Structure 1
């Protein structure tokens, strides 16, 4: 059993050393809690659990920490993929729910598994999700500072359970100040993808990740016989050719873990029940 999570990027130029320590401690705590959850739950259930914890943490750009778009509203996207069933579900630009990843999880039972905008919100309401504003009081003040401070980054989790099943989940609050209607990578197979061989979650600039088909490329290469290390390295070499900005976390069916970023530093943590690896 293995688990790895990410929470976007950290920049020394616009975030303090104290914030860095907070993120390291937060990621270690969430990775440990999620690994413990994995002991008695499936990979799919675990990645949802971990991403929900990340969505509830104001340090990250998802759920409660989501950025504000150019019209002053918060819209969130999240997706889930089960490597065993090959089912993908997600919500795009959903408003006024606390945990978009939970809506994506419920959508797994539907034939129509990716919903956007008002349709996603209607579905969430019909399935018992309460109306919830993720705009905490200071978010409106931060709205005026977003262009100067930069984004905090998407969150995600990849897990391998005791049955050898892989799953990936990713959630984002957008990049901040984006055009209304902009769609990120997080609820696409470019940003979140899994099969029986490998699972990947990405963070970074959505347009770059989509252009590079980052998550899907890594998984397909592992499926075709690449080592996970080589699959990640080749995909990021191709990303570099378009000057892409991204980070990725991945686990293969044998429990090998990989992570890479094109513009350091992606914040991540992995835990195997004994040892942590945390970004520095």
Structure 2
């Protein structure tokens, strides 16, 4: 099975990897059938861990390869990384400003984006989907770049990224579904919303891989674009959310742990 995966088309690999990250989100969300609520300290710790994984992946799996690939392609080594990173952040900023969404635990009137009459549950799904787009893109770009034949990219590194994103998706699934249950949703609907938040990841992964496979010159830009989008999510959403209930130290330590876990995965497998 593993050998078959290694020999598969990179777009198929990206689809499978995106499905893997979605499945782990669904697994985490399934905890709603046994939990009534998540302790706030645990909640902030999980978000901190997820932020650390995303930050480490942004550098070790995306930015560093972008810089090295740029040099191999003849670019000034810093240029694609800088341009793509800022473009990724700008892309997420544009989505954040335009797509109607509501962050967890916020009142309805604090919904962001274009004003709409969407129900609260739809706004919550929208916010979580917005969060997961860059994760899927990152996985897809990594598998697409692994097929490029460049020395600085590898299937092992792409697999490490998918494992890291998947690991942090388990607590994310819990952190999404259980609070929805606490707000009055049924267990089944809370799970459906929780797992649905990551369905976008396989789709984004396929798009990311296809862009890289069919347009090799954009590879360093695509890698840094995904990095910028992920860093935007961490700084704009995850870190602020962990700072609201006095658990800053715990969240920070868990962020560092998540960073180290992702770094070890990337260095050892990549």
Q: TM-score, normalised by structure 1?
A: 0.31
Say which structure, 1 or 2, has more relative contact order (CA 8 Å, 6+ apart): 2
| More strand as a share of residues | 1
Q: TM-score, normalised by structure 2?
A: 0.32
